[in-house]
Amino acid sequence: MIERLHSSDPSRIAGHRLLGRLGSGGMGVVYLGRTADGALAAVKVIRAEYADEADFRARFRREAAIAARVDSPWAVRVTGADPNAAEPWLATSFVPGPSLAEAVTAHGPLPLRAVRILGKALARALDVMHGQGLVHRDVKPANVLLGTDGPRLIDFGIARGAEHTVLTSTGVVLGTPGFLSPEQVGGRAAEPACDVFSLGCLLAYAATGRLPFGTGTADAVLYRTVHDEPEFGPEVLADPELTALLRTALAKHPDIRPTARELDEALTEDDPGAGTGWLPDPVVAAIAERAAGLLALPGIEETVADPAAEPTVGAGSGPGGRAVSRRRLLRLATAGAVVAAGGGVAAVLVSRRGGGAPAEPAGRTWTVGVHADLSGPQQSMGKAQLRGVESAVSAFNSRSDKPFTASVRPVDDAGDPGRSARAAAELVGDPDVLAVVGPTGNASVMPCLEVYGEAALPLLTVSALGSTFGVADRRSFFQTCSLSFGQGHAAALQLVQAQGARRLGLLCDRAGDAEGWQAVLQVSRTLGAEFPQAVPYARVLPRESGSELPAVLADLLAQGVDGIFCTGTPARTAQAARWLDTAGFKGPRVADYTVVDEEFLTAAGPAAEGWQVLAPYTGPDSPAVLEHLVRERRDGPAIAPWAAEAYDTAGLVLDRLVTAVQTGGGRPTRAELLTALGRGTYRGVVKEYAFDDRRQVKGNPYFLHRIDRGRLHCLGAVPQPSAG
């Protein structure tokens, strides 16, 4: 957690504006800072008395130079240092997420697959370190942060060249009992194998929530580390392969242990990529909350800290003309009067609300809410949209000309219609929330529309494509997505006009959702109205009759179909793909976009090659998406379907808020923003956004995707009719 700055703390270190304390110890303090471009950093400052010790600065300079050589996506990056300052400092990129220790303590052990993925990422970080001649010496759960874009190994404060002395040469064993190797316990020089042993302890802890050498006094734990075998518990023993790997990593003799690279190669799972999908839902929610909270950190005016006195605001600023202390201002801030942080007081910003409202504090956040399924059946969509909104807000906050600081507040309805209204009420009840992106799916829309409508709080859905919401309470409801009926038209256009099919097979699997059935009907209607040269042949597969699928497919081929459009579930559509592949069918095959996911790709295997999808979202490999989203920061955000659309929708909201400020209106009310969103055109990464009188986006583009080498690749937009 972030602690407020003390009166003796500086307000700025080099190019970093300090926002709070992340921690402190005998050597110094670690601050949370913000650079001029809006990036957050952890700034470690060494106390002046230690800097005066003989050879300290030389060792600190060496330490900073060594740490800067670590270039891995799974280790924090050194962004600056000054060993010559009165109080030497080192800055690293900041990860807005809980530590592994916090996550396991709060939510329990990780699933074994997550343990493997975590181990692979950390092994890769250690491999880079060891390649530079570095040994971390304190690999433990508290030094692994779980961010929105994967885990990070942190705390290079005691990492050093293996051939050099440590920063604090005291002759004592450095490290944490329970994660130290036997040779470290014995006081021998640290080698890369020590880090592998520590990583083995960390992974055992992540899988079980327990230390492999038990707990108790430090002496007892260290004794067991040297003399006893590790205990893994049934959670790890259920996976013989992982058990064997951990036993090897925890071998008493360092020569028997694998190297970090060998450990990486032995862990067969993928690395985490740039997201959180590998983690349990409660941990993902905790990461999202932590990240959203940090995005909400307010901008702070320039101040000067005077450690010798209690700073004051000018005379007359308090009752009876008395000067007001910082401590008093902090108390007032809880009532929304002013904000004091970073050793100073934020200026009061005069703002208009609806004609004659009182002035507002500069520190008040301008929040974009996210109403999403973050833990239910559509969580992959919800999480992608949350990441898209966070990326848009992060990009906005990094602008030097931004007129305000934006933040994100996510609320999870788990895709449950029964929780949707409560989620809406939570966001409506936050006066800082000016607009909401969501909900994720159709089922969550109807229960919440009245709540948002009564509050005039703009609600912009990215992925609820239902065309039946026209009869609902649309007072504040926008659909920025193409509507569901467009998929059928796009499929007919692609199969008949672009690829020449003349006898089109339509497989309507009732095990799928209603949008799939509607798509089949729309294909049939489009053929009759626009492509009379093509004849449809439709078959319906009952929900409970999956065993009939081969016979239904055989009938389609017997009718001479030369193109196929399928709806259903991922598993049954994959079964259809395998059957058609075995039968040698080579005509164009299009699947309902809702069924083509990782389950389909895995189950269909090579038979998925060449299948096409018409989807209302663009692809992560779209040049525009890569240019606008990935460049936002060095690692790039996790790009997934629906992330770009959410990025655009948040960008639309921020654009209208900026316009309100620039036209002299100050902070708009929700109702004013609602009106502004319905006017004009906004050019986003994916498409142009303008709305009709039903607040549905004009135009209805769908995007053609093709499966190649086991992955979807976006080939571009297919022309579509309007929603009218």
Which of the two residues, 628 and 199, has the higher pLDDT score?
199
| Residue 85 pLDDT | 87
| Residue 270 pLDDT | 63
The dihedral built from the CA positions of residue 595, 601, 605 and 609, taken in this order, carries a sign that is positive
Report d(CA 526, CA 670) in Å as an integer: 41
Q: What is the CATH number of the domain that holds 538?
A: 3.40.50.2300
| Residue 43 pLDDT | 92
Q: What's the distance, CA 82 to chain centroid?
A: 32
586 with 666, same domain: the answer is no
- The last residue of one of the domains, among 34, 68, 93, is 93
Q: What's the distance, CA 112 to chain centroid?
A: 21
- The last residue of one of the domains, among 258, 287, 316, is 287
pLDDT at residue 317 tops 50:
no
713 with 569, same domain: the answer is yes
Tokens 């583009």 label which residue? 701
**Set 127, 138, 264, 513: catalytic member:** 138
Least confident span in 121-130, 313-322, 689-698 = 313-322
Residue 372: phi and psi, rounded to 5, are -145, 160
Q: How many residues does the chain have?
A: 724
| Residue 278 pLDDT | 85
* pLDDT confidence band for 196 (50 / 70 / 90): very high
Question: Is residue 324, in this structure, part of any structural domain at all?
Answer: no
| Residue 335 pLDDT | 28
138 is annotated as an active-site residue: yes
pLDDT at residue 312 tops 60:
no
User: Which DSSP helix (H) or strand (E) runs through 149?
Assistant: none
604 with 644, same domain: the answer is no
Q: What value does the mean pLDDT take over residues 593-604?
A: 91
Question: Is residue 323, in this structure, part of any structural domain at all?
Answer: no
Task: Quote the domain boundaries for residue 518.
Answer: 485-615+706-718
If we measure between CA atoms, which residue out of 479, 520, 446, 494 comes closest to residue 678?
A: 479
Residue 713: phi and psi, rounded to 5, are -130, 130
155 with 237, same domain: the answer is yes
265 with 169, same domain: the answer is yes
| Residue 585 pLDDT | 97
| Residue 266 pLDDT | 86
| Residue 305 pLDDT | 43
Q: What value does the mean pLDDT take over residues 431-457?
A: 93
Least confident span in 133-137, 435-439, 484-488, 671-675 = 484-488
| Residue 3 pLDDT | 83
* pLDDT confidence band for 133 (50 / 70 / 90): confident
Question: Is residue 327, in this structure, part of any structural domain at all?
Answer: no
Domains of the chain: total: 4
| Residue 410 pLDDT | 96
Number of H helices, E strands in the chain: 23, 28
538 with 588, same domain: the answer is yes
Highest mean pLDDT: which range of 85-89, 110-114, 639-643: 110-114
Report d(CA 657, CA 393) in Å as an integer: 12
Least confident span in 65-69, 150-154, 665-669 = 65-69
Percent of the chain residues past pLDDT 70, beyond the cut: 79
Q: What is the CATH number of the domain that holds 29?
A: 3.30.200.20
User: Which DSSP helix (H) or strand (E) runs through 486?
Assistant: helix 485-492
Q: What value does the mean pLDDT take over residues 481-493?
A: 79
Least confident span in 169-178, 524-533, 677-686 = 169-178
pLDDT at residue 375 tops 80:
yes
With a CB cutoff of 8 Å and minimum separation 6, the contacts of 412 are 285, 372, 373, 374, 375, 382, 423
Percent of the chain residues past pLDDT 90, beyond the cut: 41
Question: Is residue 427, in this structure, part of any structural domain at all?
Answer: yes
pLDDT at residue 400 tops 60:
yes
| Residue 26 pLDDT | 60
Query: Does residue 716 come out as left (phi exceeding 0), alpha (psi in the -120 to 50 range) or beta?
Result: left
If we measure between CA atoms, which residue out of 112, 3, 573, 18 comes closest to residue 343?
A: 18
* pLDDT confidence band for 701 (50 / 70 / 90): confident
Q: What is the CATH number of the domain that holds 198?
A: 1.10.510.10
498 with 470, same domain: the answer is no
Highest mean pLDDT: which range of 66-75, 150-159, 181-190, 602-611: 602-611
* pLDDT confidence band for 683 (50 / 70 / 90): very high
Mean pLDDT of the chain: 80
442 with 508, same domain: the answer is no
CB-count exposure of residue 332 (10 Å: 0-12, 13-18, 19+): middle
pTM of structure: 0.51
pLDDT at residue 394 tops 80:
yes
477 with 505, same domain: the answer is no
Q: What value does the mean pLDDT take over residues 131-141?
A: 88
Question: Is residue 165, in this structure, part of any structural domain at all?
Answer: yes
Q: What value does the mean pLDDT take over residues 655-678?
A: 93
- The last residue of one of the domains, among 257, 287, 317, is 287
Question: Is residue 358, in this structure, part of any structural domain at all?
Answer: no
Question: Is residue 521, in this structure, part of any structural domain at all?
Answer: yes
Q: What value does the mean pLDDT take over residues 557-565?
A: 96
20 neighbors 2 (Cβ within 8 angstroms): yes
Q: What value does the mean pLDDT take over residues 504-524?
A: 80
685 neighbors 649 (Cβ within 8 angstroms): no
Report d(CA 360, CA 348) in Å as an integer: 7
Question: Is residue 301, in this structure, part of any structural domain at all?
Answer: no
pLDDT in tens, 139-178: 999 999 998 888 999 886 543 333 333 332 333 456 788 9
pLDDT in tens, 332-364: 232 222 222 222 222 222 232 333 333 343 456
Least confident span in 52-66, 149-163, 308-322 = 308-322
550 with 569, same domain: the answer is yes
135 with 84, same domain: the answer is no
464 with 497, same domain: the answer is no
